[in-house]
Amino acid sequence: MMSHPRPGQRANRGLAPHNRPPGFLKRTKLTLQFTGWLQYIPTAAAAGILLAAALVGSRIGLWRVLLFWLPLGIGILLTGALLVDLVTVKLGLRFFEPTPRALDELDTFGVIHTRRSCRSFQNRELTASDREELMRAVHRHTRPTHLIGTRPIRLEYVAASLKVWPTVGAREFIVAIAPRAYDRLAVIDVGRSLHKVVLHATRMGVASCWIGAGADQTSVVSHLGDRFDPADEHVVCVCAVGYRSRFKPTAVRAIELLQHRRLPLASLFFATPSFDTPLDVDQPPFSPFRRCYEACRWSPSSLNTQTTRCIGTTDDSGRTMARFDFCTTTASRYYAPLGLGIWCANWEAGCEALGLPGYLRVLTPEERGEHVTPEPPRYGVSWIADPLGAPPAYGPAPTGPSR
């Protein structure tokens, strides 16, 4: 996701703020990154090091299997992989790839678990029907009545090859825009609304990738044109959309393997605000939400840092679930609230699929029965169970079959 400026910094530096000109190494890295070459450097470097090691090993003449043949074999394999990557990905010379099919046979949780960040897209644009359906989802999930906060947000479609990293081949994007004046609920709304669009896209067979610091701010703003006012608006993040390609750089495949891990539920869901007692997710009254916990656990987050936590509470009897409070573990102004909003999207989708009615609402410390404590953790929003499905005084309509 994003790195972001504080109020008073340059207007459009939400994606890559700088207080002073970057040094030589930084400039070189950015040049390689946004010209699309950085993805291939790790593979080339590893191959070069191994081949050099094999050369040294051949001169030593001892333990030839370990010091010569092993590094030589791996170095040759990596060199071959690099050449294939350059031809199929960088030059775009690849076999025909069919349009992915829709996932209509999957339930909500199947869609949530199937969704993965797409690091390589096919050399084709979305079909007109897919683009229209996607934009209908954008309109639906950004309506003022759908938001938790009171500040408007926008999701703008951009058809252009924006400068992004490490994703390759992306040529269509959804750009998330919030008010320039910082509003934490607006950032949460961006994460929640955009992820609901992402889930809808996943069911359609359209792949997606949240991109933050890996997107060049100048490129994004220039392609928005007069749809963006730097005096009043701020680009929070972008999301690449398109059809997934099986061709991707070897280094990108390694990144995906490293990021495909999640914390256990005992580290994410708690029974107390002090986060010292894991929530007993397998016992009533919390066991009906078991699949929702897993849905949140697999939510995407910046660098897979999983900065969202949840506190489950009961009523005075201790036998009836009352609400879940979603919090962030860092003071991040953008990364963490975005991640919390994504959790809310998965949570609401899961509750609706399970027929568990409730709604999101921001509660005061008094309503939560808590004292204000040093941050972090920082409270974000609560999901309140409501068997009657009564609409809240503010915030979105209840989720579940009562809608």
53 pLDDT exceeds 90? Answer: yes
Nearest to 228 by CA among 7, 11, 6, 10: 11
Residues 2-21 have a mean pLDDT of 42
pLDDT tens profile 232-281? 999 999 999 999 999 999 999 998 887 778 999 999 999 998 899 999 99
350 pLDDT exceeds 60? Answer: yes
Supply φ then ψ for residue 156, to 5 degrees: -100, 135
Nearest to 163 by CA among 105, 217, 85: 217
Type of residue at 353: A
Residue 18's pLDDT band (cuts 50, 70, 90): very low
User: What is the C-alpha to C-alpha distance for residues 388 and 376, in angstroms, rounded to an integer?
Assistant: 34
Q: DSSP secondary-structure letter at 161?
A: -
Residues 385-396 have a mean pLDDT of 62
Beta bridge partners of 327: 309, 379
pLDDT of residue 61: 84
396 pLDDT exceeds 90? Answer: no
Q: DSSP secondary-structure letter at 182?
A: -
Render the burial of 31-54: b for 16+ CB within 10 Å, e for the rest: eebbebebbbebbbebbeebbebb
Nearest to 193 by CA among 339, 62, 341: 341
pLDDT tens profile 84-95? 999 999 999 999
For residues 197 and 207, is the Cβ–Cβ distance under 8 A? no
**Predicted TM-score (pTM) above 0.75:** yes
**233-242 vs 172-179, strand pairing mode:** antiparallel
Lowest mean pLDDT segment, chosen from 1-10, 49-58, 116-125, 204-213? 1-10
Q: Which range, 67-71, 301-305, 383-387, is most confident? A: 67-71
Residue 151's pLDDT band (cuts 50, 70, 90): very high
Query: DSSP letters along 23-84, please?
Result: -HHHHHHHHHHHTT-GGGHHHHHHHHHHHHHHHHHHHH-SSHIIIIIHHHHHHHHHHHHHHH
For residues 243 and 100, is the Cβ–Cβ distance under 8 A? yes
Q: Which tokens is 49 given? A: 């090091």
For the chain, how are helix, strand and coil distributed in percent, rounded to 5?
40, 15, 40
393 pLDDT exceeds 50? Answer: no
Alpha helices, DSSP H, located in 115-264: 128-141, 184-204, 217-224, 250-259
Type of residue at 367: E
Nearest to 245 by CA among 167, 185, 310: 167
User: What is the C-alpha to C-alpha distance for residues 80 and 23, in angstroms, rounded to an integer?
Assistant: 33
Beta bridge partners of 177: 154, 235
6 pLDDT exceeds 60? Answer: no
For all residues of the chain together, what is the average pLDDT?
A: 89
Q: What is the SS3 assignment for 89-123?
A: HHCCCCCCCCCCCCCCCCCHHHHHHHCCECCEECC
Lowest mean pLDDT segment, chosen from 12-26, 188-202, 274-288? 12-26
SS3 380: strand
For residues 311 and 162, is the Cβ–Cβ distance under 8 A? no
Q: Which tokens is 101 given? A: 């099919």
User: What is the C-alpha to C-alpha distance for residues 388 and 276, in angstroms, rounded to an integer?
Assistant: 32
Comparing 247 with 395, the larger pLDDT belongs to 247
Residues 209-238 have a mean pLDDT of 94
Residues present in the chain in total: 403
379 pLDDT exceeds 60? Answer: yes
Greatest alpha-carbon pair distance for the chain in Å reads 79
Residues 61-75 have a mean pLDDT of 94
pLDDT of residue 17: 44
pLDDT of residue 372: 60
